Structure 1
Amino acid sequence: MKKFFTTLSNIWKIEDLRVRIINTLLFLLIYRVGSFVVLPGVNGASFANQKAEGLVGLLNMFAGGSFSRASIFALGVMPYISASIVVQLLGIAVPYFTKLQKEGESGRNKLNQWTRYLTIGITALQAIGYVRSQIGPDARLISDPLFTLLTTVVLTAGTLFVMWLGEKITDKGIGNGISLIIMVGIIAQLPGAFITEFSSRTSGTGGLVTFIVEIVALIGVVMFTILIVQGTRKIAVQYAKRIVGNKQYGGVRQYIPLKVNAAGVMPIIFAQALMFIPATVQQFFPKAASNGILIAMSNSNSWQHNTVFGILIILFTYFYTAITVNPNQMADDMKKNGGFIPGIKPGKSTADFIDGVISKITLPGSIFLAIIAIIPAIASLVGVSPIFARFFGGTSLIILVGVVLDTLQQIESHLLMRHYDGLMKTGRIKGRTAMPAAAGTSPTVI
């Protein structure tokens, strides 16, 4: 405990770090206050007891409850995330975007500009869909088409403002701004879910002992998720010795850390998008609502749904790892810098060796990721409330663990730069530092 307070004191002593933490908290406070501001022309009282389930519940969690409150930040940063993913995929499929990725800072600035333009278009389309699906006629105080136009403009402006807040946090705060905004939105749902589960257990079935068992299980799942996020396979790389003047360069052994889960949370997001197709088909085709397969696939707790969900996650993990990690580029960069893997010839042999290692570690990584993704369904089946079960795994837990590790890693870096002790007695905190990928490819913010 004494070391903990000493570390807090050291953090406060570093002026730059202190200012960055305060700025981050202020920007996040602005975001949370804005999430309670209801859209103009909407009767906020009609959303008081609205429950968000399924895809809506997932979006509502990422938006910190703004989605179900019809807030000006209802769409959150999800349109920006979608635009970032599209631009990242275009960088692999379209030569123009591939060229921009290789142009350094100027290319990244152009890609960021394209991402912002695409965010505006995606937000406008999602805003129209939000108005039609979530805001009923009884909640509208203004008649159409003025209401739809006004709400679309406000929701688009709200998303752009949240995106600006995220960029300011990254620039003047600590950690990745967009990731922190998503994390705060998820954490905002935790106290309510915790209280609801505690009340249901103490006043209903299970009792306090069952609730304690659930908390212990949650801690175990978090520890397991940390192992997956931080797990790496190190490949030794030897650099040739060079003498320049009176100084020696190279001649040392370093390591390439290949992530066990290089794809991060993206496979779960892609798989979830496909798993919502059966429910969408039922909504647009009422005659198909009685189909047994569609009913089973629409039930997130059924074994059919979770089996297909797990298989899709494994496939998407391989797919996303293949398009984001480029062994050929890694081998070329290593050769240009005079590096080689002991016992492996430079060039194609090195690329094949790295590709083989990635293929071997991706399989257990994808399986573990699928297990984490279906744990919430297992928790629901054993009696955990659906709201609290979401924190037992899936997208939300992986994002929480990754963002917290990244932020703590940055704080520890500031401490070590000023010759203070780190946050841990042994070793250093490892965040989600991306493995070497295709040249110019920037990792997705989450």
Structure 2
Amino acid sequence: MLSTIRAVLTVPDIRKKILFTLGVVVVARLGSAVPAPGVSFPNIQQCTREIDKGNGLSTLFDLFSGGALLQLSIFAVGVLPYISATIIVQLLTVVIPRFARLKKEGRAGQNTLNQYGRYLTIALATLQAASVTTLAASGALFAGCSVPVVPRTDTMTLAVMVVVMVAGAAAMMWLGEQVTEKGVGNGISLLIFVSIAHRVPADLRAVADGFGVLTLIGVLAIGIVLVAGVVMVEQAQRRVPVQYTKRMVGRRLYGGSSTYLPLKVNQAGVMPVIFAGSVLSLPAVVAPLSGGAPLLPPSGWLHTALHAAMIVGFAYFSIGILFDPAERAAELQQFGGFVPGIRPGRPTREYLGFVLNRLTPPGAAYLVAVAVPPQLLFGQSQSLPLAGVSVLIMVGVALETVKQLESQLGQHNYQGFLR
């Protein structure tokens, strides 16, 4: 491990990418601590100490903003609008024929879809910033606090807050794309990783102060087991063997190689958990605006059961969007590949669909097992440093980043060998 880290740091190109990524992370964290115009910083610190942060708004949205939401900073909106917009655009490629054609046009079509995603990000960020500003000005964001977090609630002040938060969301989106292009790993995923990871020490200290050292040791032990289990399942895959036929191109013979098609047990990733949490958090966000109470209390059994059911449903839905057996079978047939014992075309499509249907139930059950038990044991009001969503995101991003570093290091060594 130490030799790998030393090798990565000694490569100039990779070292520059790592330093650039760290610089972007520092900028993002600094922006999360700068309050938006019109916000009283002393009052918001007092309200944060006074209130219970277990409402529906602060469970998921504040998680992805790295605590910036409840600080009403310039990056309070965070990257959740970008994630939502990207997912919506992916879903629309199945519904809208133009989007489907753009998806098949390669890089040019993907750039157009990304541009649509950016426009939708600004729209969603405006909606979320307006909601957060309204909740803060009305006192619903910090219900029960004795001091106002926004002393002046005139239209101009609130409009400036919304504009600054939307600009902060656009800046976060730009920073994430810059990391993806010039840094290491997926920029948006790394920003989410840092937003979650920076809260772990404070949450562990809160557990030790509130429940004692023995409870902290128990939480750490459970966390280690949970992380090991998540790593094992995230790395688990069903390898479908693929054989390529030999073909003559000019005077050269190509093909005849054997490989495999990796199908992960958790093919949907963490998206079903994010979908379910986002949908269930919407009533808790809308209820204070309308002056009512949420229809589904976060601590109720109905909320928990609906959460688990939505995770399973979104798992099936996400896999249907992300992996198309017919498209994959057509690609194999186009390049002369086939599954041994399975005829190309429709039989291959049916076989891949059969394998995927066998993998989806355990994958969905795994997501429910990781996300729901912390909610049952500690409730929504408890900020867990190693809760299910946090572990899924941090482990997934860490594994993907390490793979990219190893790939870049291997490519550099290969090029050096050629020289």
Alignment TM-score > 0.5, same fold? yes
Question: What does residue 365 of structure 2 align with?
Answer: 367
Matching of residue 13 in structure 1 with residue 15 in structure 2: no
Matching of residue 133 in structure 1 with residue 110 in structure 2: no
Cα deviation, residue 195, structure 1: 0.8
Match of 1:417 among 396, 411, 416: 411
Which AA in structure 2 matches 1:419?
N
Match of 2:196 among 167, 181, 186: 186
Matching of residue 91 in structure 1 with residue 98 in structure 2: no
Query: Superposed, which structure 2 residues align to 1:18-417 within 5 Å?
Result: 18-49=15-46, 50=48, 51-53=52-54, 54-136=56-138, 138-202=148-212, 208-245=213-250, 247-276=252-281, 279=284, 283=288, 294=295, 297-300=296-299, 302-380=300-378, 386-388=382-384, 391-393=386-388, 395-417=389-411
Q: Quick one: distance in 2 between partners of 1:281 and 1:168?
A: 34
Q: Quick one: distance in 2 between partners of 1:70 and 1:210?
A: 32
2:136 and 2:150 in contact (8 A); partners too: no
Q: 1:162 to 1:283 in 2, by over 3 A?
A: closer
Q: Quick one: distance in 2 between partners of 1:15 and 1:212?
A: 41
Q: 1:284 to 1:12 in 2, by over 3 A?
A: closer
Q: Quick one: distance in 1 between partners of 2:347 and 2:258?
A: 19
Per-residue CA deviation, residues 374-409 of structure 1 (Å, 9 max, x unaligned), is 12124417xx98112x5231x222111111011111
Q: CA RMSD in A?
A: 2.2
* 3-state DSSP of counterpart to 2:74: coil
Question: What does residue 434 of structure 1 align with?
Answer: none
Cα deviation, residue 329, structure 1: 0.6
Cα deviation, residue 142, structure 1: 4.2
Cα deviation, residue 416, structure 1: 2.0
2:39 and 2:151 in contact (8 A); partners too: yes
1:379 and 1:392 in contact (8 A); partners too: no
Cα deviation, residue 57, structure 1: 2.9
Q: Quick one: distance in 2 between partners of 1:385 and 1:284?
A: 21
Number of aligned residues:
401
Larger mean Cα displacement after TM superposition, 210-219 or 277-286: 277-286
Q: 1:62 to 1:280 in 2, by over 3 A?
A: closer
* 3-state DSSP of counterpart to 2:33: coil
1:278 and 1:298 in contact (8 A); partners too: no
Cα deviation, residue 278, structure 1: 5.7
* 3-state DSSP of counterpart to 1:233: strand
Cα deviation, residue 8, structure 1: 2.5
Which AA in structure 2 matches 1:26?
G
**What TM-score do the two structures reach when normalised by structure 2?**
0.90
Which AA in structure 1 matches 2:264?
K
Q: Quick one: distance in 2 between partners of 1:283 and 1:385?
A: 17
**What TM-score do the two structures reach when normalised by structure 1?**
0.85
Per-residue CA deviation, residues 86-107 of structure 1 (Å, 9 max, x unaligned), is 1111111001111111111111
Which AA in structure 2 matches 1:72?
I
Q: 1:280 to 1:124 in 2, by over 3 A?
A: closer
Per-residue CA deviation, residues 387-438 of structure 1 (Å, 9 max, x unaligned), is 12x5231x22211111101111111112222339xxxxxxxxxxxxxxxxxx
Identity of aligned residues (%): 38
Cα deviation, residue 288, structure 1: 7.3
1:100 and 1:108 in contact (8 A); partners too: yes
1:281 and 1:288 in contact (8 A); partners too: no
Q: Quick one: distance in 1 between partners of 2:113 and 2:283?
A: 34
Task: Give every structure 1 segment of 4 or more consecutive aligned residues whose post-TM-superposition deviation is greater than 6 Å.
Answer: 284-289
